[in-house]
Amino acid sequence: MTKDASFVRKILFFLPYTAALTHAITVNLPFTAPDNAPTVSGSLFSLSLEQDRWLDWVGTASTGRNEFFFNTLDNLIQITGEAPHIRIGADSADHTDFGVGVKDAEAIFPEPTEIEPYPEATNITVGDAFYEAVRFLPPHTHVIWGVNFATKNITSAFLQAQAIQRAFSSNVVQDAGIILDAVEVGNEPNIYPRNTVRPVDYNISEYVQEWIPFASNVSAASGITPNSHTQFWGGSFADSFSELEPSTSGFSPQGLFGNGILNSEPGKLIKTFSQHHYNAFCFSNCGTLQLEQLLTKSTIRSNLSIFAEDVAVVRDQGWEYVLGETNSNPLHGAPGLSNVAGAALWALDYALFAAQMGVRRVFFHEGVGYKYNLIQPTTLTRSPVDGSTLPSPLPPHIQPPYYAAIIAAEAIGNNSRLGDGTRLVELALGNSANLSAYTFFEDFEDESGSGESTRSRSRLARAVFINLEVFSSSMEKRTSVHVDFDFDFSDFGDDSDARRIAVAPSMMQVKRLAIGHADDTSGLTWGGVTYETNDGRYSGEESIEIVDVEDGFDIQATEVVLLSFLFL
């Protein structure tokens, strides 16, 4: 966390608990990470930004840097030492053209509706300053930028790619260490037929045949070579969600490989496969019932496990697998579902489960005025819920899912850039249908105690528990679960019981995401502090319990607890 005058840390040894205890469980905690435990990136929570309002997010030469957006990113950097990766593109990337003589951006937007109060631009023409604004991001930010593929205008895509290359080659961007990781050619090409920019029978083979020469031109314009840091993102396919979009066969990593993309020169420049996925389906007035469906543990897992084979295939190829665009509900989110406190629990469980599957980063999609945003970066004059004119402008602010990014950052810590990084293991909790738990392991030097040389291990450092049971404003009784621990020292082999006891943590810090109700839209606190401030920095007095490990802890419905184990 950053430090400011409003922050005072407070350690508590006991915190009164008011929720009704419903049951207790004992959880087996591994003391060291298994060899196959995945490392988790400090930039696990990353952002996908709708391109049409990019300058509202980051700022312009005339307005200066958007300090609120910068601060919300910097909060995460202060914790992990790593900036969230920023993808700039999405649907509006396929509506973008480069205009010689255009300074920033000229956009045409359709009329707002109740369901989409802030619709994407139908056309956006940009100039060099549009790309040069990347300099306003925090230093050392990694960026992915999308270019237009839908319109088949190779001249426009070539000009866009040249402008991107110029921006990232500028002295100010290079001095800040802001890096172009990848160029993304097109957005969700498997739904081009629905958007009437390809024939209804458009298939993966035709896509690959189009993509190869198109990407060859883009790589020439943007300086992408086998030896450059910048490479291509591949895929960026939409999944099939409910009745809105019937399944489109073949658009998958297997489809790319089977149709020869790896045999092409630009195909050899792909290092990351991107999948898009939205989780619920509700248009408006979703209410508690839909929220309970979103927060079902089995549903979160089934939403992601359908990609397990794809993740394995991609990683076998040596690529990274990312969820390049994802969030709770399509069509910019749904009120009562995407913009409430419960969505913070969903986002945290969703991202951590994805990470333990081998997903490298999760890019939560954001747009100005979108209901599912972690961050609303600029002043709004229309309600993001129903499009009505607001009685007074709504200033920049964070929304509940932002707390999920903060909690994940603290759980991962700043070890991810050192050694083998932080390792992640999901805990098996038996029949605890509403409780999820993840453990985090950091490298340490294990002293043998017998004069032998030390060896590096990944030792248990922290654990996150997420109680997904919905406690809404319509309910009176709030339940809780008591959690006790058994430590698993099986990795120590024949080491003595005395040695195991000596290395076990005896105390732990307990930090809570306090939520009034799952359907609240504000009022959350993380360890006693709030990020619901005018500048996006936190404020308040931090409250952390310190308890004996052997006493366990309680976690109530609609709550997150972070445990930090103390080795005294």
Residues 56 and 17 in one domain: no
Name the nearest CA neighbour of 230 among 218, 241, 240, 238: 218
CB 153 within 8 A of CB 418: no
Question: pLDDT averaged over the chain?
Answer: 90
- Among 87-91, 296-300, 378-382, 412-416, the minimum mean pLDDT is found in 412-416
Residues 346 and 475 in one domain: no
Residues 329 and 476 in one domain: no
Residues 338 and 440 in one domain: no
The number of CA neighbours under 13 Å toward the Cβ of 190 is 23
* Mean pLDDT, rounded, for 105-129: 95
Residue 248's pLDDT is: 45
- pLDDT, one tens digit per residue, over 525-550 is 999 999 999 999 999 999 999 999 99
- State yes or no: pLDDT of 426 exceeds 90: yes
* Mean pLDDT, rounded, for 465-493: 89
- State yes or no: pLDDT of 309 exceeds 70: yes
Q: Which domain CATH number covers 441?
A: 2.60.40.1180
Residues 430 and 562 in one domain: yes
Residue 500's pLDDT is: 55
Q: Is residue 2 part of a domain?
A: no
Residues 108 and 201 in one domain: yes
Residue 52's pLDDT is: 97
CB 11 within 8 A of CB 544: yes
Residue 284's pLDDT is: 67
Q: Is residue 289 part of a domain?
A: yes
Question: What does the alpha-carbon distance between residue 90 and residue 94 come to, in Å, rounded to a whole number?
Answer: 7
Question: What does the alpha-carbon distance between residue 328 and residue 306 come to, in Å, rounded to a whole number?
Answer: 16
Q: What angle do CA 74, 80, 83 make, to 5 degrees?
A: 45
Residues 434 and 461 in one domain: yes
* Number of separate domains in the chain: 2
Q: How far is CA 261 from the centre of its chain?
A: 28
- Among 197-201, 244-248, 359-363, the minimum mean pLDDT is found in 244-248
CB 325 within 8 A of CB 365: yes
Residues 24 and 49 in one domain: no
Q: Is residue 337 part of a domain?
A: yes
Q: What angle do CA 178, 184, 188 make, to 5 degrees?
A: 140
Q: Is residue 499 part of a domain?
A: yes
Residues 66 and 109 in one domain: yes
> Residue 89: what residue type?
G
Q: Is residue 56 part of a domain?
A: yes
Q: Is residue 1 part of a domain?
A: no
Residues 170 and 254 in one domain: yes
- State yes or no: pLDDT of 448 exceeds 80: no
DSSP 452: P
Residue 289's pLDDT is: 75
Name the nearest CA neighbour of 560 among 465, 463, 428, 424: 465
Domain extent, residue 57, equals 45-416
CB 542 within 8 A of CB 498: no
- State yes or no: pLDDT of 352 exceeds 50: yes
Q: Which domain CATH number covers 67?
A: 3.20.20.80
Q: Is residue 460 part of a domain?
A: yes
CB 181 within 8 A of CB 142: yes
Residue 5's pLDDT is: 36
458 vs 419: which has the higher pLDDT: 458
Question: What does the alpha-carbon distance between residue 255 and residue 261 come to, in Å, rounded to a whole number?
Answer: 9
Residue 168's pLDDT is: 98
- Among 44-53, 151-160, 198-207, 407-416, the minimum mean pLDDT is found in 407-416
* Mean pLDDT, rounded, for 164-179: 98
Q: Which two tokens stand for residue 338?
A: 């995407």
CB 515 within 8 A of CB 559: yes
How large is the angle between the packed helices 401-412 and 342-357, nearest 10 degrees?
Answer: 40
Residue 193's pLDDT is: 94
* Mean pLDDT, rounded, for 240-262: 72
CB 86 within 8 A of CB 375: no
* Mean pLDDT, rounded, for 366-372: 97
User: Which residue, 368, 390, 416, sits at the end of a domain?
Assistant: 416
Say what the alpha-carbon torsion angle 500, 501, 506, 508 is, to the nearest 10 degrees: 10
In the chain, pLDDT over 70 holds for what percent of residues?
Answer: 88
* Mean pLDDT, rounded, for 319-341: 95
- pLDDT classification of 299: cutoffs 50, 70, 90: very high
Q: How far is CA 411 from the centre of its chain?
A: 14
Residue 373's pLDDT is: 98
Residues 270 and 153 in one domain: yes
Residues 203 and 255 in one domain: yes
User: Which residue, 359, 386, 416, sits at the end of a domain?
Assistant: 416
DSSP 84: P
* Mean pLDDT, rounded, for 286-312: 91
Residue 432's pLDDT is: 78
Which residues 6+ apart lie within 8 Å of 320 measured at CB? 271, 272, 273, 314, 360, 361
* Mean pLDDT, rounded, for 31-59: 95
Q: Which two tokens stand for residue 118?
A: 């802030």
- Distances in whole angstroms, Cα of residue 295 to Cα of each of 2, 320, 338: 31, 28, 11
Question: What does the alpha-carbon distance between residue 344 and residue 526 come to, in Å, rounded to a whole number?
Answer: 12
* Mean pLDDT, rounded, for 453-476: 85
Q: Is residue 19 part of a domain?
A: yes
- State yes or no: pLDDT of 273 exceeds 80: yes
Question: What does the alpha-carbon distance between residue 266 and residue 147 come to, in Å, rounded to a whole number?
Answer: 15
> Residue 219: what residue type?
S
* Mean pLDDT, rounded, for 509-537: 98
103 vs 556: which has the higher pLDDT: 556
The number of CA neighbours under 13 Å toward the Cβ of 318 is 5
User: Which residue, 416, 442, 464, sits at the end of a domain?
Assistant: 416
From first CA to last CA, the distance across the chain in angstroms is: 23
